Amino acid sequence: MVKDVPSVAAHLYALKREEFIAARNVHAEEARAHGDQSLAESIRNLAKPSAAAWVLNMLARHRREEIARVLALGATLREAQENLDADELRGLSRQRQQLIITVVQRGRALAQELGSRISDSTASEVEQTLQAAMADPDAADAVRKGLLTRALSSSGFEAVDLADSVALRPRQAATVSESSEQEFAEARGAAEEAERRVSELRSKLDVGERRIATLVTRRSELMRESQDLREQLAAVSADIVEVDRQAETLHQEWRKAAADAQDAEREAADASARFDWLSRD
C-alpha cells in the first residue's frame, strides 16, 4: 500500500539514523513502482536527520513526558516575560537550566539504549534546540512532532528559523490534520494511554529499583559479616588446632609421668621389702 509523505516521514524519523537512507529508498521505490513519481520525489527529499535532530526525535517518541515538561516550562517562561515578573523569571530560569541539563542527560542515555553514542558537540546542539523550543512556540511544536532534520537555535529575541529544520512544511502538516482529524484524535488517545501506562510502569520500576538497591546494600552487609565470621572461624579453628597440639603434648607428658610414677612405686616397694628383710636379720 502506497502511503503519503507525512505517514512515511513519521515512520522514517522514528528509525535509527543508520537505517534512514535504506528505508527512505524503499518507500520511494514503492511509490515509483505504483506510478506516483511526485510522491517518490517528495520522499527522496526527506533529509536524513543530524545526530542532534535524531536524539530529539527519539526523545519526542520515547520520552514524551520529559519533552512535555520542557515545553510546558517554556510556555510558563514566555508568559512571565510578557508580564515582566522578574522574581518569577529568575526562579523559572534556574528551573529551565536544570531541566535542560537533565533532559540532555536522558537523551544521551536513550541514544545509548538505542545503540548510539553522542558526542559533546551533539549534546550541546540538543541543549540549544531545547532552549529554542522553550523560547518559541513554533520551535516547540517542531520538537514535539519529532520530525526534525537538524538542530535549532535561538537568540532569545527573534523567531526561530525553522527553514530546512523540519521534515514537513507547516502547510503539509495542516493538510494532513484536516484530512485525517479522526485518525489523529485516535492516535493521540492511544499515545496518551500509552504514556499513562509508561508512567505507571516507570513508577513501578522506580519502586523496584529502590528495593533492589536496598537488597544489594543488605547483601553487601551480609557478605561483610560472613567474611568476618569466616575470619573468626578460621582464627578459632587455628586456636583449636593449637589447643589440641598442647593437649596432646601434655597428655604425652602425663603418660610419661604416670609410667615414671609406676616405676618409682615399684622401686619404692622393692626397697621397702629389702629393708624389711634386712631388718629381720
CA 244 → CA 148, 251, 252, 254, distances in Å? Answer: 81, 10, 12, 15
Separation CA 134–CA 73 (nearest Å): 7
171's grid cell:
502547510
Q: Please tell me whether residue 148 adopts helix, strand or coil conformation.
A: strand
Q: Residue 267 has what pLDDT?
A: 84
Q: Residue 15 has what pLDDT?
A: 96
pTM of the predicted protein model: 0.61
List beta partners, residue 166: 148
Question: For residue 110, how many other CB atoms are within 10 A of its CB?
Answer: 19
pLDDT per residue as tens digits for the range 173-217 = 554 444 444 544 555 556 557 656 756 776 676 677 777 777 778
Question: For residue 61, how many other CB atoms are within 10 A of its CB?
Answer: 15
DSSP code string of 200-267: HHHHHHHHHHHHHHHHHHHHHHHHHHHHHHHHHHHHHHHHHHHHHHHHHHHHHHHHHHHHHHHHHHHH
Q: 46 — alpha (psi -120 to 50), left (phi > 0) or beta?
A: beta
Q: Residue 177 has what pLDDT?
A: 41
Q: Residue 281 has what pLDDT?
A: 63
Residue 238: pLDDT band with limits 50, 70, 90:
confident
Amino acid at position 98, single letter: Q
Residue 255: pLDDT band with limits 50, 70, 90:
confident
Q: Residue 79 has what pLDDT?
A: 85
pLDDT per residue as tens digits for the range 218-229 = 887 888 888 888
Backbone dihedral angles phi then psi of residue 166, each to the nearest 5 degrees:
-125, 150
150's grid cell:
537538524
Q: At what angle do helices 51-62 and 64-83 cross, to 10 degrees?
A: 100
Quote the Cα angle for 15-74-148, to 5°: 25
